[in-house]
């Protein structure tokens, strides 16, 4: 592996970029440098595995807006809805073990969920965003209620479906993690965060966690700088208050999002749809295992047939909450270039996060890829910075 030590003067600041890479992947290094030179990058990292081997592991910039603390090799950051992909992997491990089936009724495991017209909800409806409960309308909650797991579960039990279940997709932006997590708890006795740690990240030694972060783990976290022009953040102030986007943030935290997302509660609570913290190396390692047939370093997450089942397309709709087209699989997104770009291969799968982070696997090329950043963009896709890195990766083939 070649070593990168690159000081860069750009936009009136200095950015020190570091890492390791295989020489044939130098174009990814150039793309990483270019992101800092021409985009609004403050701190970032990119990790890439190919056929179970590291080919790129880069990081650099600053952990904070004041540019006083360098982003180092073990810096982590909130990667937002990248958590949905990781949560889906956890849940599909239960499916692979025969503990649950996508066509099972939810009430088989969670009888209380069948209230108010939801008795026919299937597990797959939670996974593919067609459960028709993307927002709360029956029992709206107080600001900050998203940090009260029991309150959220009770409200979801009481919520009426907003349309016929299974007919229309709408991004369950906060709710998917609570829904899948409750099924997981009923089956295994533990929710997503502990399962992830016990079954995936600790065995793989991958730096990525959903909730319950220790003081030492919290100490590595970079400051998040959300772009409040992003459609989800802006909806409650600039859209009809009956829109799904606006209602999705009805349970906003008491403090502004920029404060909340850098608070201790955001790191310790389990919002399995969005509060995952980690780095590119950790997420690339998870997807690298899947790109290697489901196993890495003696740790098996699932088999090839289980990966095929997880990534079977369930629908291709323009989902109703953000008006974005998605090739949707079982909790995992399939490559949808106009919304979430994962390179040239249609079978690539993973999940992006609000602001630009992304993790994905290309099973045909054996790739596990992840990119994370702390300065978020406001575009509706996974953005120009990730795209530049992805295009550079595939140009090295």
218, 281, 220, 208: which is closest to 69 by C-alpha?
220
Chain centroid offset of residue 231 CA: 17
In a domain, 68, yes or no: no
pLDDT value for 243 = 82
- At residue 82, the pLDDT reads 98
Q: How many domains does the chain have?
A: 1
In a domain, 13, yes or no: no
Q: Is residue 336 part of a domain?
A: yes
| 224 inside domain | yes
pLDDT (tens place) for every residue of the chain, 397 residues total: 999 999 999 999 999 999 999 999 999 999 999 999 999 999 999 999 999 999 999 999 999 999 999 999 999 999 999 999 999 999 999 999 999 999 999 999 999 999 999 999 999 999 999 999 999 998 878 888 889 999 999 999 999 999 999 999 999 999 999 999 999 999 999 999 999 999 999 999 999 999 999 999 999 999 999 986 655 655 455 456 678 888 887 666 667 878 889 999 999 999 999 999 999 999 999 999 999 999 999 999 999 999 999 999 999 999 999 899 999 999 999 999 999 999 999 999 999 999 999 999 999 999 999 999 999 997 778 899 999 999 999 999 7
Tell me if 359 is assigned to some domain: no
358 is a domain residue:
no
Q: What is the CATH number of the domain that holds 209?
A: 3.40.710.10
**Is 210 within a domain?**
yes
Residue 182 lies in a domain: yes
* Parallel/antiparallel/unpaired status of strands 43-50 and 53-61: antiparallel
Residue 102 CA to residue 85 CA, distance in Å, equals: 16
Strand-pairing partners, residue 295, are 300
Burial of residue 5 (number of CB atoms within 10 Å: 0-12, 13-18, 19+): exposed
* Phi-psi sector, 323: left (phi>0), alpha (psi -120 to 50), beta: left
| Domain, as residue range, for 106 | 75-353
DSSP 200: I
pLDDT of 113 reads: 98
């Amino acid at each position: 592996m070649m070593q990168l030590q690159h000081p860069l003067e750009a936009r009136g600041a200095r950015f020190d970029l570091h890492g390791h890479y295989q020489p044939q992947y130098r174009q990814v290094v150039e793309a990483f440098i270019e992101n800092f030179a021409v985009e609004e990058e403050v701190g970032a990292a990119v990790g890439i595995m190919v056929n179970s081997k590291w080919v790129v592991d880069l990081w650099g910039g600053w952990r904070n807006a004041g540019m006083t603390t360098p982003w180092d090799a073990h810096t982590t950051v909130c990667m937002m809805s990248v958590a949905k992909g990781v949560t889906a992997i956890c849940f599909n491990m239960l499916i692979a073990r025969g503990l649950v089936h996508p066509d099972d009724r939810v009430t088989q495991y969670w009888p209380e969920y069948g209230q108010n017209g939801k008795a026919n909800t299937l597990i797959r409806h939670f996974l593919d965003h067609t459960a028709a409960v993307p927002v709360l309308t029956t029992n709206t909650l107080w600001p900050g209620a998203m940090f009260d797991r029991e309150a959220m579960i009770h409200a979801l039990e009481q919520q009426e479906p907003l349309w016929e279940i299974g007919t229309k997709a709408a991004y369950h932006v906060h709710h998917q993690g609570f829904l899948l997590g409750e099924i997981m708890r009923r089956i295994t006795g533990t929710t997503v965060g502990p399962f992830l740690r016990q079954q995936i990240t600790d065995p793989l030694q991958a730096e990525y966690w959903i909730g319950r972060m220790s003081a030492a783990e919290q100490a590595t976290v970079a400051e998040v700088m959300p772009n409040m022009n992003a459609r989800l953040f802006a909806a409650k102030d600039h859209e009809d208050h009956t829109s799904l986007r606006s209602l999705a943030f009805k349970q906003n935290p008491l403090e502004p999002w920029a404060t909340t997302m850098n608070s201790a509660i955001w790191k310790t609570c389990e919002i399995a749809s969005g509060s995952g913290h980690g780095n590119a190396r950790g997420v690339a390692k998870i997807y690298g295992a899947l790109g290697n047939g489901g196993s890495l370093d003696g740790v098996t997450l699932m088999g090839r047939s289980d990966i095929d089942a997880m990534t079977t397309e369930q629908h291709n709709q323009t989902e109703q909450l953000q008006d974005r087209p998605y090739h949707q699989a079982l909790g995992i997104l399939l490559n949808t270039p106009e919304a979430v770009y994962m390179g040239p291969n249609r079978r690539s799968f993973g999940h992006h996060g609000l602001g630009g982070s992304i993790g994905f696997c290309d099973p045909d090329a054996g790739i596990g890829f992840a990119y994370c950043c702390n300065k978020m963009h406001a575009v509706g896709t996974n953005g120009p910075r990730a795209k530049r890195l992805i295009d550079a990766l595939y140009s090295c083939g």
